[in-house]
Structure 1
Amino acid sequence: MNLIFFRTFLLYFLLTQITFASDHAKGFKPPKVQQQLYHLAKLYHFVATKEFKGILETQLENYRPIFEKIGHKYNVPWTLLATQAYQESRWQSLIEEELEKRAKFLSEVQKSLPKNLEGKNIWALGLVAYKLGKEHFYDAQSLTALHGKNPYLWKDLKEIVPLLHYKYYYKNLRYGYANGFDAIAYVDAIQHYYNLLIEYELAMLTKESSNGAKK
């Protein structure tokens, strides 16, 4: 099954969600095509989750040392680097130089943010900055502040990033248009894979502990 195909539909579904959000909130019944896209998005989510879980069981141990080494070097969680790399290439072409570039970028974003931010919030901001590019990330932060929201809070920034897609908003921004929908989908996917990886790691630790207690 072509996951790229389903990803395309998922992104289009996000676009339709923005278009019909206000009507739906008033009890408007979504058009048939939107309902179909919703089911396609759920199918993509199911297939992608199943595929990732299988790859964790068969391939993670081969790549873990690389992720841990680079994560330690740049003070970035190796689990984050692993899931970002999976989103980028499904671990099919892991190049240490590329991993280092991403880790260095995330580390630089982390250092530029206020020190009192919570970890997951920091890395979500780092990921969206990576996908958008720093210039568009700064635009998104400015627009978030302009809307009276916190530009350093992922929950708030996430609501604004899609607006970079629309000329009404980006025409007044310093760096112009950016595909905000794609950036949001990128971060959401990595966060989903990250949670699955953490669950997998905890399950492995529990299993090892249980086996150790039996000996």
Structure 2
Amino acid sequence: MLSIRYLFSPIRLAAYPFALILWLSLSGCHPAGQQALPNWQGGELVVLEDSLQPGADSQFNHELAKLFAGYLHAKLTAIPVDVAHAPDMLAQHRAHLAAIGFRSNTATPGLIYAPSYQTVAEQLVFNNAQDAPAGIADILDLKVAVVAGSAQEKLLEEIKLKQPSLHWESRSKVSVDDLLDEVAGGTLDVTFANRQQFGLARNFHENLGMATFAVAAPSQLAWAFAPDSDAKLRDQATRFFAEIRKDGRLHDLVDRFYGFNERLAPLDAAAFVVQINSTLPRYRALFAEAAHWSGLDWELIAALAYQESHWNPLATSYTSVRGMMMLTEDTADQMHVDNRLDARQSTLAGARYLATIRDQLPLRIAEPDRTWMALAAYNQGNGHLEDARVLTQRMGMDADRWVDVKKWMPKLTQPEYFEQLPHGYARGGEAVILVENIRMYYDMLKRAESGNSTTGLSATPYYKLLDSDKKQRIKNFYNR
């Protein structure tokens, strides 16, 4: 069985060469408890990051740490660490803080928490081949494991106070994804994961089930400091989180890494494997060529093409858009395409068209919002995107942030809104679905590329994101 961790895992330690040099030098030159940390006020912030948990969780915390370092006007140095070892390393003053999601609901000896940045529901996960547990009492005789020192282990420690018979394996050197793999493979009965982690794994393992009862209060995730850490730095962290919560940057970051998870649906594994194995390798070089000429990532172009046509260069919809990138006649003329069913012409033109739209957006719109809005305009046109941005602004929200615009773009189907806007009716909801699906395809292709350095792509499926209506529409135009 393919491990999620294997599919996604970059060569983690090699990705942090300077951090490792720092870590080893600190370990070898000073006795424990007397580490000479750089002065964060002098321009260097040293943080611990989870070396074992792949994907959105670690990347989210890394981006958050970069924001905090920028807030302090400091350079960020990240040290990869097994989360179970983080408290000891903080106590030894090997880092200023641990940028790892700890469950801060209850006090933990040896740790002081920053303000919580995210609330996530923790879930009991089991294999659907077994009966669904109706409560904690049903797992007392089962094989249970969680990651040592994780938010899930802290959760079980709380539950054990009420269920003294509860026992579990505390695993080091593994990730939540590894344990979910084991549950899916039948070598582990039960593990615990938050909803986002479960949603990710569910797309690889349809046989994973989630218990319907609430196991405990949701986890309030937060960074951690040593009790004797610099109080001024902790105060700065408190001000930092208050500021990014107020100005929307925290919301934007959560949406960037987790917003599209809400669109996950069970994977039609057989159909998707066929597409990955037989179709994508055929067009991989074409997507790379389009990336070269457009300045876009090839994974973004491939994600758009898959959403539009399932990499079918002969695709034709009921609206008469055609080809790999589903170009309209007007767009094809604008991009000098004489045959929309030619895969190369369509892909190069579609990529250039998307790049052109992106370049025409106001310069104040930053990435990644700039790309998400360009994709929405690719689907519905610049005029309708501008209407959605005007409507967003009228509603007191930020027209330069996709997380706000996507809330109002679906309103373009309603007369009380579109009749007050210059470009009239638009299928704004369809554009939002397209963008959110492409975000996930793009994210997964990027991770697959970094996690498989030999072939660049795995022969195993990544995601199925289309809702049932969208999936049926694609099947319909395949069968026309």
Q: TM-score w.r.t. structure 2 length? A: 0.32
Cα distance, 1:150 vs structure 2: 1.8
| 3-state SS of paired residue (1:138) | helix
Relative distance call for 1:172 and 1:77 in structure 2 (3 A) is: same
Partner amino acid for 1:188?
Answer: E
More helix, by proportion = 1
Find the counterpart in structure 2 of residue 66 from structure 1: 286
Relative distance call for 1:181 and 1:99 in structure 2 (3 A) is: same
* Structure-to-structure mapping, 1:26-37, within 5 angstroms: none
Partner amino acid for 2:400?
Answer: Y
Partner amino acid for 1:56?
Answer: I
Cα distance, 1:89 vs structure 2: 0.9
CA contact (8 A) 1:151 1:157 kept: yes
CA contact (8 A) 1:53 1:196 kept: no
Relative distance call for 1:142 and 1:44 in structure 2 (3 A) is: closer
Cα distance, 1:203 vs structure 2: 2.1
CA contact (8 A) 2:412 2:424 kept: yes
Find the counterpart in structure 1 of residue 307 from structure 2: 87
Pairwise CA RMSD: 2.5
Q: Structure 2 CA distance, aligned partners of 1:170 and 1:117? A: 24
Greater shift in the superposed pair: 95-104 or 199-208: 199-208
Cα distance, 1:206 vs structure 2: 7.5
| 3-state SS of paired residue (1:149) | coil
Cα distance, 1:119 vs structure 2: 3.3
Q: Percent identity?
A: 29
Find the counterpart in structure 2 of residue 190 from structure 1: 438
Find the counterpart in structure 2 of residue 4 from structure 1: none
Does structure 1 residue 151 correspond to structure 2 residue 399? yes
Cα distance, 1:109 vs structure 2: 2.1
| 3-state SS of paired residue (2:296) | coil
Match of 2:414 among 166, 177, 180: 166
Structure 2's unaligned 5+ residue stretches are 1-261, 314-323, 325-342, 457-480
Cα distance, 1:60 vs structure 2: 2.5
Find the counterpart in structure 2 of residue 76 from structure 1: 296
Does structure 1 residue 96 correspond to structure 2 residue 348? no
CA contact (8 A) 2:364 2:400 kept: no
Find the counterpart in structure 1 of residue 358 from structure 2: 110
Partner amino acid for 1:78?
Answer: W
Cα distance, 1:110 vs structure 2: 2.0
Q: Structure 2 CA distance, aligned partners of 1:48 and 1:185? A: 19
CA contact (8 A) 1:124 1:154 kept: yes
CA contact (8 A) 1:131 1:183 kept: yes
Q: Structure 2 CA distance, aligned partners of 1:44 and 1:111? A: 30
Q: Structure 2 CA distance, aligned partners of 1:53 and 1:119? A: 32
CA contact (8 A) 2:280 2:311 kept: no
Cα distance, 1:131 vs structure 2: 0.8
Cα distance, 1:144 vs structure 2: 1.2
Find the counterpart in structure 1 of residue 265 from structure 2: 45
Q: Structure 2 CA distance, aligned partners of 1:173 and 1:153? A: 20
Greater shift in the superposed pair: 197-206 or 79-88: 197-206
| 3-state SS of paired residue (1:129) | helix
Does structure 1 residue 141 correspond to structure 2 residue 389? yes
Relative distance call for 1:177 and 1:43 in structure 2 (3 A) is: closer
Q: Structure 2 CA distance, aligned partners of 1:116 and 1:74? A: 21
Cα distance, 1:207 vs structure 2: 8.1
| 3-state SS of paired residue (2:357) | helix
Cα distance, 1:96 vs structure 2: 1.9
Partner amino acid for 2:281?
Answer: E
Partner amino acid for 1:163?
Answer: K
More strand, by proportion = 2
| 3-state SS of paired residue (1:196) | helix
CA contact (8 A) 1:52 1:193 kept: no
Find the counterpart in structure 2 of residue 177 from structure 1: 425
CA contact (8 A) 1:140 1:164 kept: yes
Cα distance, 1:52 vs structure 2: 3.9
Structure 1's unaligned 5+ residue stretches are 1-41, 209-215
Greater shift in the superposed pair: 112-121 or 161-170: 112-121
Cα distance, 1:59 vs structure 2: 3.2
CA contact (8 A) 1:67 1:82 kept: yes
Cα distance, 1:200 vs structure 2: 1.5
Relative distance call for 1:48 and 1:132 in structure 2 (3 A) is: farther
Q: Structure 2 CA distance, aligned partners of 1:43 and 1:132? A: 20
> Which one scores higher on RCO, CA 8 angstroms, separation ≥ 6?
1
Partner amino acid for 2:349?
Answer: K
Relative distance call for 1:136 and 1:115 in structure 2 (3 A) is: closer
Q: Structure 2 CA distance, aligned partners of 1:43 and 1:130? A: 20
Cα distance, 1:169 vs structure 2: 0.3
